[in-house]
């Protein structure tokens, strides 16, 4: 009897309700999806081969087409699924919208849940231990001195002291310089000088980015299996193990020193992120070795890309060099290699910001995951779970920056002198979003700005630098990524009289 009733109830009520429900969901999905048009959707392109190929080779063209055609938000099919691109004018709205999250997007798109990617797991940890350390501790005078000392050692070792012109592999060397300077603050001077550690952080940063790229090339449903076999991911896991084995003795030695310290014999105090992570964590468990990989992957690629392109731009505009040298030598003479000294290098600040304007890391920025359905200023709804980003083209808008594609090293210096507070390198504004904006604005921007400026000042004060004759470095675009010339070379010589 009960079974019969169940069947009757099912047939008469539940089945039609389920069908109706499904119909409503389909209509809803169709309507929400269809309100945001897609730029690179082509008839017959069922496997999305053409869409992906267009995205990888012509993302700039797709963004331009989307803006011109739709005059509002649009979708681009990327190798990571579809991404809603908001016009630059939506930056303020995005900055103030609390239903968007950066960490969740990074967690998914940089595969933080996969073994070997524990660094990303630390960066996206909702407790924000690493982010708090970066915000609160990474901007001290002593760090400028460390940058200066460690770069001086690196230059002596890698570029040597030849007074004759010699060719150097800038693409490779810049990573070594940045690795060394950053590590002096992340893990302390001793490990920063260890060639094995230097090698490890360079290789693990590279493998992490390559691993992310190669995983993205696989369909989502296969990634949980293929990651075990991809060479880059295998390397990431191996390098994570190596990092743990190299750091463990240091952790143990510090813990021992702390446990045996007494009133008369204080434990040694360290000024590095190993120490600060412990202070900020305040007893909460965290993965201290993965945090070091996290610092390396947050800092290395971004900072070396900026330093690399900035010096290439200066070499393409050598008329700037005497003024930069004059300003830097005066700043160091007055204030030493300190935050005050770096602050005084305002032309250099402007030069680097101009580089970053013309070549930010990406054609889009402010990447966020939508946590709850949100209504855009134009009335469109973006469903929960959608990944969005803002088009970076405000950086090349002639209404904001006259002659936007002309490199002008003095541009931001003039703006700064006219009272524009957003014109300093480490500042962010809706007109220049290379360090992001809003809650997840890059917490490492002061650290990175100091590091890049110190490196440029020191290089230009110590060496003559030029491009090899007949070469003109080219920015490479791959999907949304903007990369400086992959094989950029320089010619250098120690400055006479030094």
Residue whose CB is less far from ligand HEM, 345 or 442 = 442
Residue the block writes with tokens 């209509």 = 27
Q: How many Å from the N-terminal Cα to the C-terminal Cα in the chain?
A: 101
Q: Which of 306, 351, 423, 457 contacts ligand HEM by CB under 6 A?
A: 306
Task: Out of 171, 205, 303, 350, name the contact with ligand HEM by CB under 6 A.
Answer: 303
How far is residue 55's CA from residue 39's CA, in Å, rounded to a whole number? Answer: 10
Estimate to the nearest angstrom the gap between the alpha carbon of 397 and the chain centroid.
Answer: 23
Work out how close the CB of 488 gets to ligand HEM at its nearest, in angstroms, rounded to a whole number: 17
Rounded to whole angstroms, how far apart are CA atoms 422 and 177? 28
What is the pattern of x (binds ligand HEM, CB under 6 A) and - over residues 247-286?
----------------------------------------
CA angle 382, 385, 388 (to 5 degrees): 60
Nearest distance, CB of residue 362 and ligand HEM, angstroms: 8
Instruction: Kindly tell me which of 436 and 479 has the beta carbon lying closer to ligand HEM.
Output: 436
User: In the window 360-419, what residues touch ligand HEM (CB under 6 A)?
Assistant: 361, 365-367
Q: Which is nearer to ligand HEM, 62 or 131 (CB)?
A: 131
Q: Number of C-alpha atoms within 13 angstroms, CB side, residue 255?
A: 8
Q: How far apart are CA 326 and CA 404, in angstroms?
A: 27
* C-beta of residue 242 within 8 angstroms of C-beta of residue 200: yes
Question: Minimal distance in Å, beta carbon 103 to ligand HEM?
Answer: 5
* Alpha carbon distance 177, 155 (integer Å): 8
| 296 close to 342: Cβ distance less than 8 angstroms | no
**Measured from the CB of residue 3, what is the shortest distance to ligand HEM in angstroms?**
55
Nearer of residues 40 and 365 to ligand HEM, judged by Cβ: 365
| 480, two tokens | 């949304």
Nearest CB to ligand HEM, comparing residues 240 and 437: 437
Of residues 87 through 106, those in contact with ligand HEM by CB under 6 A are 102-103
Decide whether 207 or 303 has the Cβ nearer to ligand HEM. 303
Least distance (Å) between residue 267 CB and ligand HEM: 25
Cβ distance to ligand HEM smaller for residue 54 or 367:
367
Please tell me the distance from the alpha carbon of residue 328 to that of residue 440, in angstroms, as a whole number.
32
Instruction: Report if residue 36 touches ligand HEM, rule: CB under 6 A.
Output: no
Residue 319 to residue 263: CA distance in whole angstroms: 59
Smallest gap from residue 366 Cβ to ligand HEM (A): 5
Nearer to ligand HEM, 443 or 473 (CB): 443
How far apart (Å, rounded) are the C-alpha atoms in residues 57 and 76? 13
Which of residues 155, 201, 299, 324 is near ligand HEM by CB under 6 A?
299
Angle at 429 between CA 92 and CA 407, to 5 degrees: 130
Nearest-5° Cα angle at 126, 450 to 180: 30
The site that binds ligand HEM (CB under 6 A) totals a number of residues, namely: 29
Give, to the nearest 10 degrees, the angle between helix 273-281 and helix 129-137: 120
- Residue of 59, 138, 206, 310 interacting with ligand HEM (CB under 6 A): 138
Give the Cα separation of 134 and 383 in Å (integer): 32
Binding residue for ligand HEM (CB under 6 A) from 131, 277, 332, 426?
131
Of 301 and 494, the one with the shorter C-beta distance to ligand HEM is 301
DSSP alpha helix (H) spans, 12-48: 15-34
Q: Sign of the CA dihedral 35, 39, 40, 43?
A: positive
Give the range of 139-147, 293-301, 319-327, 408-416 binding ligand HEM by CB under 6 A.
293-301
Binding mask 421-460 for ligand HEM (x = CB under 6 A): -------------xxxxx-xxxxx--xx------------
User: Is there a binding annotation on residue 236?
Assistant: no
Our measurement of the distance from residue 450's CA atom to the centroid of its chain's CA atoms, rounded to an integer in Å, reads 16
Which parts are annotated binding residues?
A: 442
Which parts are annotated binding residues for heme?
A: 442
Residues at the site binding ligand HEM, with contacts judged by CB under 6 A: 102-103, 123, 130-131, 134, 138, 295, 298-299, 302-303, 306, 361, 365-367, 434-438, 440-444, 447-448
């Amino acid at each position: 009897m009960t079974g019969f009733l169940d069947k009757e109830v099912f047939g008469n009520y539940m089945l039609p309700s389920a069908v109706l429900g499904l119909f409503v969901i389909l209509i809803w999905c169709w309507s929400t999806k269809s309100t945001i048009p897609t730029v690179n959707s082509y008839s017959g392109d069922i496997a999305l081969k053409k869409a992906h190929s267009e995205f990888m080779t012509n993302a700039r063209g797709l963004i331009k087409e989307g803006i011109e055609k739709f005059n509002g938000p649009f979708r681009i099919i990327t190798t990571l699924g579809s991404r809603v691109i908001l016009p630059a004018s939506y930056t303020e709205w995005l900055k103030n919208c609390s239903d968007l999250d950066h960490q969740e997007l990074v967690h998914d798109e940089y595969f933080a849940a996969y073994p070997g990617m524990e660094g990303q797991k630390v960066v996206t940890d909702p407790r924000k231990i690493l982010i708090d350390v970066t915000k609160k501790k990474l901007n001290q005078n002593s760090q400028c001195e460390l940058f200066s000392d460690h770069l001086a050692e690196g230059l002596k070792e890698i570029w040597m002291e030849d007074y004759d012109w010699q060719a150097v592999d800038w693409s490779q060397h810049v990573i070594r310089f940045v690795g060394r300077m950053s590590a002096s603050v992340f893990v302390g001077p001793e490990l920063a000088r260890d060639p094995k550690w230097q090698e490890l952080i360079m290789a693990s940063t590279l493998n992490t980015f390559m691993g992310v790229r190669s995983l993205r090339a696989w369909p989502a449903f296969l990634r949980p299996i293929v990651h075990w076999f991809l060479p880059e991911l295998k390397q990431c896991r191996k390098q994570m193990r190596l990092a743990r084995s190299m750091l463990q003795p240091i952790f143990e030695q510090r813990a021992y020193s702390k446990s045996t310290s007494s009133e008369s014999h204080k434990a040694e105090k360290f000024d590095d992120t190993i120490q600060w992570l412990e202070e900020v964590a305040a007893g909460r468990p965290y993965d201290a070795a993965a945090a070091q990989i996290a610092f390396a992957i947050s800092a290395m690629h971004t900072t070396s890309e900026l330093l690399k392109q900035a010096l290439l731009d200066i070499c393409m505009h050598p008329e700037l060099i005497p003024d930069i040298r004059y300003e830097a030598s005066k700043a160091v003479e007055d204030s030493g290699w300190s935050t005050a000294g770096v602050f005084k290098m305002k032309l250099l600040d402007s030069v680097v910001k101009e580089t970053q304007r013309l070549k930010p890391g990406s054609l889009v920025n402010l990447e966020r995951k939508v946590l709850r359905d949100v209504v855009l200023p134009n009335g469109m709804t973006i469903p929960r779970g959608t990944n969005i980003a803002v088009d970076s083209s405000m950086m090349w808008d002639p209404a904001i920056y006259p002659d936007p594609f002309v490199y002008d090293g003095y541009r931001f210096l003039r703006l700064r002198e006219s009272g524009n507070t957003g014109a300093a390198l480490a500042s962010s504004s809706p007109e220049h979003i290379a360090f992001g904006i809003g809650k997840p604005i890059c917490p490492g921007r002061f650290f990175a700005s100091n590091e890049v400026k110190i490196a440029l000042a020191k290089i230009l004060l110590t060496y003559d630098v030029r491009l090899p004759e007949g070469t003109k470095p080219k920015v490479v675009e791959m999907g949304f990524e903007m990369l400086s010339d992959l094989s950029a070379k320089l010619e250098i010589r120690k400055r006479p009289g030094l």
